[in-house]
Amino acid sequence: MKMTIEAFQALYCSSVAFGMRKALQAEQGKSDLFQAVEILKNEKQDLEQQITELKQRAEQADRRAAETRLAEERKHTEEIAFLKKANQQLKAQLEGIITPKK
């Protein structure tokens, strides 16, 4: 009977020690996970900021491209109008030269 009690006491001490080790491991694991979560939150925030900056840069590039395209279209339209006017003037001069004067 005495040996049985001693065996149970040894088993109890062993199980208490095992429980303490597991509790410490769990606490350490929890702490590690909290640190990992904080790191990931910071990375997420940095990435969101990069997304915002890249969207702004893309919008600016689109605006600049639209402005450039509009300016080129305007310049092209003006050039066509100038060339048409010059063509009309040259036609008029040519008609004046070709048609016999009375």
* Selected residue with higher pLDDT from 51 and 18: 51
User: Confidence band (pLDDT; 50, 70, 90) for 102?
Assistant: low
> Which pLDDT score, from 0 to 100, does residue 36 have?
93
Specify the 3-state DSSP secondary structure of 1.
coil
**pLDDT tens profile 24-83:** 888 887 888 889 999 999 999 999 999 999 999 999 999 999 999 999 999 999 999 999
Predicted TM-score of the model (pTM)? 0.56
Record the tokens describing residue 27, joined without a space.
Answer: 């606490």
pLDDT of residue 101: 66
pLDDT at 17: 80
Report which of 24, 21, 27 is spatially closest to residue 13, judged by C-alpha positions: 21
